[in-house]
């Protein structure tokens, strides 16, 4: 059996009981080194298969091999396994083999960051990853434009890295063509983990912030506002 498990943003108190039980049921925990480090202490009796970034396909092939040998494997992803995680690829790799794959959801970064910043996701929103490793930048630009046309709140995953330091700035430039600079915005670094920090600001100023791969950024829409230091996107309720 292969369990593809979303472990949430990283804090042990944000791993769902279902995810924890799935990992406890397995003899081997497989995943990217950063995610494995987050669960080692809570699963001290397990064997760990540790992988580097960009070895996703090899990771799935190895999980399939272990399952075919009769071992239960937990293939873990940060956040939710089906949101920029390993679920889709694992299902593709296992297709036609007869091996059972169970996808176990977890709290994704949009939820954890949204809670820290207030309630910015109260109405319709989109998540857009700025990583152009698997999606070309032209497609990412079109998705940003489309989000603006639909007046969606935009939750940005993978905003910037050493290899692509300008992607978040370029994304903000696209959003600023359609939204006022005063639009509420914010980011959370290390959401749910040690060293968590955040800032509530505006679209015009967030591009000047120190945004990296450890951050999730949220840009409000025309219904978003800041109240008592928190971002709220109105859903239309009438206060009495």
The string of pLDDT tens digits covering residues 11-29 is: 888 999 999 999 999 999 9
How far apart CA 206 and CA 185 sit, in angstroms, is 7
Assess whether 198 and 159 both reside in one domain. yes
Assess whether 100 and 123 both reside in one domain. no
Number of domains in the chain: 2
How far apart CA 205 and CA 132 sit, in angstroms, is 24
Question: Does 128 fall in a domain?
Answer: yes
**How many angstroms separate the first and last alpha carbons of the chain?**
53
Domain span holding position 90? 2-104
Q: Establish how many alpha carbons lie within 13 A of residue 186's alpha carbon, considering only the half-sphere containing its beta carbon.
A: 26
Tens digits of per-residue pLDDT, 161-201?
A: 888 889 999 999 999 999 999 999 999 999 988 889 999 99
Burial of 192 (0-12, 13-18, 19+ CB in 10 A): buried
Tens digits of per-residue pLDDT, 123-160?
A: 999 999 999 989 999 999 999 999 999 999 999 999 99
Question: Does 238 fall in a domain?
Answer: no
User: Which residue blocks in 49-136 are alpha helix, DSSP H?
Assistant: 56-68, 87-94, 109-117
pTM of the model: 0.93
């Amino acid at each position: 059996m292969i369990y593809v498990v979303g472990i949430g943003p990283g804090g042990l108190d944000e791993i769902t009981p279902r995810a924890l039980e799935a990992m406890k049921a397995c003899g081997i925990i497989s995943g990217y080194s950063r995610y494995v480090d987050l669960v080692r202490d809570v699963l001290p009796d397990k064997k760990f298969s540790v992988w580097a970034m960009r070895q996703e396909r090899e990771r799935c092939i190895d999980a399939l091999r272990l399952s075919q040998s009769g071992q239960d494997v937990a293939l873990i992803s940060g956040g939710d396994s089906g949101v920029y995680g390993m679920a889709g690829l694992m299902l593709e790799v296992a297709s036609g083999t007869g091996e059972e794959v169970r996808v176990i959801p977890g709290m994704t970064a949009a939820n954890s960051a949204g809670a820290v910043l207030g309630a910015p996701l109260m109405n319709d929103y989109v998540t857009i990853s700025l990583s152009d490793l698997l999606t070309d930048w032209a497609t990412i630009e079109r998705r940003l434009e489309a989000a603006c046309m639909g007046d969606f709140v935009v939750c940005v995953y993978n905003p910037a890295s050493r290899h692509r330091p300008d992607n978040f700035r370029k994304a903000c430039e696209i959003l600023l063509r359609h939204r006022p600079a005063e639009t509420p915005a914010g980011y959370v670094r290390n959401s749910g983990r040690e060293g968590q920090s955040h800032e509530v600001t505006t679209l015009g100023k967030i591009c000047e912030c120190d945004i990296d791969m450890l951050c999730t950024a949220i840009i409000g829409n025309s219904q978003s506002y800041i109240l008592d230091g928190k971002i709220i996107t109105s859903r239309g309720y009438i206060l009495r």
